[in-house]
Amino acid sequence: MTKSFQMRGLVPAVFTPMKADGSLNLAQIAPVAEQIIGDKIAGFYICGSTGEGPCLSREERMDTAEAYIEAAAGRISTVVQVGHQSIPEAQRLAEHASSQGADAISAIPPNYFKPNSLATLIEMMAEIASAAPDLPFYYYNIPTVTGVQVDLLRFLEEGAERIPNLVGAKYSHSTVFELQACLESQGGRFDLLFGSDEMLLSALVVGVKGAVGSTYNFAAPLYNRVIAAFDQGDMQTAKALQGKAAQMVRVLVEHGGNSAIKAMMGLIGADCGGTRLPQKALSKTQVEALKTDMTEIGFFNWGR
């Protein structure tokens, strides 16, 4: 079952809505989810980097996962990120995701005590994945954040022998040549979910079919047009649209990166609140400056 599982299309890495005091705003998940689903996306990636999963308690992560799975109501796929500094905690999160009806799980590696070898990384991921053996498992590869550098092709090929439910990886890295090698390995056995929104077109060219990203929460219509143009062989249009996406990402980075990305939800009428320390929410003045610059590049005309 798990070996044939594949994600197709755009999968927003969803935000965890929060109140002004930093507590969760679970009641906001349902309306946010409805707006995102309306943008023709394929799934939710829950409690990842965008969802501030590493900054949440186990109970908060469980509550967030439950709320998003309930909001999805079987209409789209749900992938729960269960990685943790503690392997037993990650296993509990995996068990919970399975019990709630998630479609798949994913895990980032610990980044305090980092795995010191490929064999150790595979052993750790095998323990996590074994807690939900009936769910497809995606390794979350984001070395610029975790500092865990791994030959992903070797991880997939060797890991598949130890992790029966390993189906692929969330690939949040810019080395497209490695991405292509992973996609072509073992006759296309592995499913690679691309995680660099500003490079989506590059990933499509080498064969990616599914992508997980933060800006898909509010700019899915733009990226869906990129995919449609590519599928129709209209590379000129696809390139132009991808250029707009890159322009949008540059503005977001200039205004604070993750905090600006979350603030964008309020600007499209799906407010997700502030952020959890160590990230800082934008002030009202900063949000207005972000809106001004996004308006100046025309985002509210072509991004939505």
170 is catalytic: yes
The residue from 45, 68, 140, 171 that is catalytic is 140
Burial of 1 (0-12, 13-18, 19+ CB in 10 A): exposed
Could you tell me the sign of the dihedral formed by the alpha carbons of 109, 112, 113, 117, in that order?
Answer: positive
- Which among 80, 31, 50, 103 is positioned nearest to 261, based on CA atoms? 50
139 is catalytic: no
CA Rg value for the chain:
18
Mutual angle of helices 235-254 and 258-267, in 10-degree steps: 110
Alpha-carbon span 256 to 102, nearest angstrom: 32
Answer yes or no: are the C-beta atoms of 7 and 77 closer than 8 Å.
yes
Answer yes or no: are the C-beta atoms of 105 and 79 closer than 8 Å.
yes
Q: Which residues pair with 210 in a beta bridge?
A: 9, 193
Burial of 2 (0-12, 13-18, 19+ CB in 10 A): middle
The residue from 68, 138, 170, 262 that is catalytic is 170
Catalytic residues: 140, 170
